[in-house]
Structure 1
Amino acid sequence: MTKTNTLDTAEFRAWLALSHINISRAKLQHFLEHYSSIEQIFELSEKQLIQLGFREGLKKRLEAIDDSLIEQDLTWFDSDDKHLIPFTSDDYPGLLREIDSAPKLLFVHGKKELLQHHQIAIVGSRNPTPQGKDNAIEFSRTLGKAGVVITSGLALGVDGFAHKAVLDQGLPTIAVAGTGLDRVYPARHKELAQRIVENGALVSEFALGTGVRATHFPARNRIISGMSLGTLVVEAAVKSGSLITARLAMEQGREVFAIPGSIHNPLARGCHLLIKQGVKLVETAEEIIEELGALATWQTESLGENKSDQASEPAEFELDQEYQELIEQIDYEPTSMDKILERTGLEIDVVSHMLLLLELNDHIVSVAGGYQRRKS
Structure 2
Amino acid sequence: MENLEEQSLPTISCLSKQDWLTLSFIKGVGPARLDRLFTYIHSLETSQPKIEASKLKETINLELLLRLKWPLATAQEAISYLQDGRVCDRLSEQLSSTQTWLDVSPQHHLLMRTERQYPDELRQIDVAPIFLYVTGNLKALETKKLAMVGARKASQYGLETAYKLAQQIGSLGIGLVSGGAIGIDSAAHQGALAAAGSTIVVMGSGLLHPYPKSNQALFNRILETNSGCLMSEYPLHTKVQARLFPARNRIISGLSLGVIVVEAGFKSGSLISANYALQHNRDVFAVPGRITDKSSDACLDLIKQGAKLITQVEDVINEFSQLEIMSKLSPLIPHDLKMKKKINVYPRLQEAQNNDVSRETQVEIQKIPMLYDPNNMSESAIMVLNRIDEMLLEPDGKNEFELNQLVSMTGLAIDEVMQTCMQLELEELIDPLMTGYARRLENKSK
1:71 is aligned to 96
Secondary structure of 1:264's aligned partner: coil
Q: State the identity %.
A: 34
Of 164, 177, 201, the residue aligned with 1:138 is 164
Q: Alpha carbons of 1:129 and 1:42: their partners in 2 closer, same or farther (altered >3 Å)?
A: farther
Of 28, 41, 52, the residue aligned with 1:31 is 41
Contact 1:19 1:206 in 2 (8 A): no
**Matches of 1:247 and 1:216, distance apart in 2:** 17
Q: Which has the larger radius of gyration?
A: 2
2:145 is aligned to 119
**Matches of 1:200 and 1:41, distance apart in 2:** 38
Quick check: 1:281 aligned with 2:286?
Answer: no
Contact 2:167 2:193 in 1 (8 A): no
Secondary structure of 1:71's aligned partner: helix
Quick check: 1:157 aligned with 2:183?
Answer: yes
Q: Alpha carbons of 1:51 and 1:154: their partners in 2 closer, same or farther (altered >3 Å)?
A: closer
**Matches of 1:234 and 1:100, distance apart in 2:** 26
1:223 is aligned to 251
Q: Alpha carbons of 1:142 and 1:208: their partners in 2 closer, same or farther (altered >3 Å)?
A: same
1:244-323 superposed matches below 5 A: 244-294=272-322, 296=323
1:350 is aligned to 330
Tell me the alpha carbon deviations over residues 265-308 of structure 1, each in whole angstroms, 9 at most, x when there is no partner. Answer: 111111001001110001111111111225x58xxxxxxxxxxx
Quick check: 1:16 aligned with 2:26?
Answer: no
Quick check: 1:169 aligned with 2:195?
Answer: yes
**Matches of 2:52 and 2:138, distance apart in 1:** 26
Q: Which amino acid aligns with 1:166?
A: A
Paired residues in the alignment total 303
**Matches of 1:37 and 1:138, distance apart in 2:** 53
Of 121, 141, 147, the residue aligned with 1:95 is 121
1:148 is aligned to 174
State the TM-score, normalizing by the size of structure 1.
0.73
Q: Which amino acid aligns with 1:18?
A: L
**Matches of 1:108 and 1:192, distance apart in 2:** 16
Q: Relative contact order (alpha carbons < 8 A, sep ≥ 6): 1 or 2 greater? A: 1
Of 185, 199, 210, the residue aligned with 2:227 is 199
Contact 1:27 1:53 in 2 (8 A): no
**Matches of 1:68 and 1:11, distance apart in 2:** 19
**Matches of 2:306 and 2:131, distance apart in 1:** 33
Q: Deviation of residue 7 (structure 1)?
A: 1.6
Q: Which amino acid aligns with 2:2?
A: K
State the TM-score, normalizing by the size of structure 2.
0.62
Contact 1:119 1:229 in 2 (8 A): yes
1:369 is aligned to none
Name stretches of at least 5 consecutive residues in structure 2 with no aligned partner: 10-14, 46-50, 82-87, 334-446
Q: Deviation of residue 135 (structure 1)?
A: 0.2
Q: Deviation of residue 55 (structure 1)?
A: 5.6
Contact 1:151 1:176 in 2 (8 A): yes
